[in-house]
Structures are given as structure tokens and as C-alpha cells.
Amino acid sequence: MHGSMHPNAPRVSPVLTVALPKGSLLSDSIRLFQSIGLDFSAFLDSGNRQLQIEDPTGRGRAMLVRNGDVPVYVESGQAHLGVVGYDVLQEKRPQVAQLLDLGFGQCRMSVAVPRSSPYRSALDLPAHCRIASKFVNCARDYFQAQDLPVDLVPLYGSVELGPITGMAEAIVDLVATGRTLQENGLIEIEVLFHSTARLVAHPLSYRLNSHGLDGWVTAARSHLTTTPTATAP
């Protein structure tokens, strides 16, 4: 098979490919890449329906994916760089290189209970109580570290309904402003960790400096050190 590619070899893009997260992290992610010379602002056009666009200079392309899917594309090598919340990295534990804390998208992973609940800290919770969460790995790790056995209830919609309906005594969820908790009669009693957006890379691509990754990352790091808003909570 001289001169031909092995059928299982990954398809290597000739340009830098970036996985950008839909939703609240998108505009700050686009600003970051604009600061280092890659313009993916077409994603902010309300009339745009494309899920993959080219930078006008032809030096890079970006794909628009769900926040939780960013590490999947990076880990598989379909994207060389990606922007993703630390909460996703903690939950999914992908094999990606975490390069930079980007400082934006600040939120926290918290334990919350109904305001009427007698529990005011995680250690007040009774053994084998029910905890509703879409972040089951984060919740499991936390309560195991507290040596508190709990029964996890995986929910992927509005987890606040867990305690409201009596399905669970508490929830573990991502909190930004806290307004959703407040409107549903819940209060935070513990913070597991704080989360911000992270720049991640395909480990082998980064180690081999494929597509000049080191230069792009150095430029991003330089931009962050001169941007006062890029500070983690």
C-alpha cells in the first residue's frame, strides 16, 4: 500500500479546525479567536444556518457544536482546538490537553435543596438520600469524597423538578446567577467547584505542533494576560 493512506488513519485537515460551543460561551469564544487573527463571527449572524465555516483568510475553520460535544470532536482529532466549560471536562473526563483557563463563562457546580429543607450543608444530608443531577460523575465523586453514600437520579431536563416533585432531596447542578434556583424555591448549600471556559487541544496534535498549534496557543495566552476580564472566580 505504498503511497496510499491506511483506511483507519484519521483524516487530517489541511487547515486549523476549531470546535466552538453553542450558547452562552460562543460570543466570548469568537472574540478570543478574533484577537489572534481568526474570524468566525459569521456564527453570530442570526440568519446563518451553517454548522461549519471558514475564516476569511483561509487559515482556519470552525464547527459549531454543543458544549458537551466539544471534547468529543477534539479527542477524535476532528478538531485541533476547542473551547469548553470546565464542568464538561470534569464530568466527561475526555483525553484532551487542557491548555488555558479563558476566564469567561464563570459558573459553579453546586448542591441545592428546597428552601424548606432542614439541610444546610452537604454533610447534613442523610445517607442514601436521592440526588438528582445530569452531572452524575461530578456528584458521585463529590459524595464519595465526603464518605456519604447517596442514590443518584440521572435527569437531563430541568433537574430543579427533582426536589419540587419529591423525587429527590437535593440536586447537583451548574449555577451561574442562581435565578433559576431562586424562582423554583431552591437554595445552594455547597459548592463543588468553580467552572470557566477552557481551551483544549488534541493531545498528539499539540505535542507535534501540528498546524502551528503552539503559535496559536501562545497568541491566545498573550491576549489573556493583557485582558483584565479573563480572570477565574
Residue type, 184: N
- Asked whether the beta carbons of 71 and 87 are under 8 A apart, the reply is no
Q: Report how many domains make up the chain.
A: 2
Helix (H) or strand (E) holding 188: strand 186-195
Specify the pLDDT at position 48: 83
Mean pLDDT of the chain: 90
If asked whether residues 111 and 173 sit together in one domain, one would say: yes
Specify the pLDDT at position 14: 63
Q: Helix 26-35 and helix 213-225: axis angle, to 10°?
A: 110
Q: Is 230 part of a structural domain of the chain? A: no
Domain hosting 48: range is: 16-105+196-225
For the stretch 23-61, pLDDT in tens is 999 999 999 999 999 999 999 998 888 899 999 989 999
If asked whether residues 162 and 208 sit together in one domain, one would say: no
If asked whether residues 206 and 95 sit together in one domain, one would say: yes
Give 8's pLDDT tier (boundaries 50, 70, 90): very low
If asked whether residues 203 and 177 sit together in one domain, one would say: no
Cell numbers describing residue 131: 440526588
If asked whether residues 78 and 132 sit together in one domain, one would say: no
Task: State the distance between the two ends of the chain, measured CA to CA, in whole angstroms.
Answer: 54
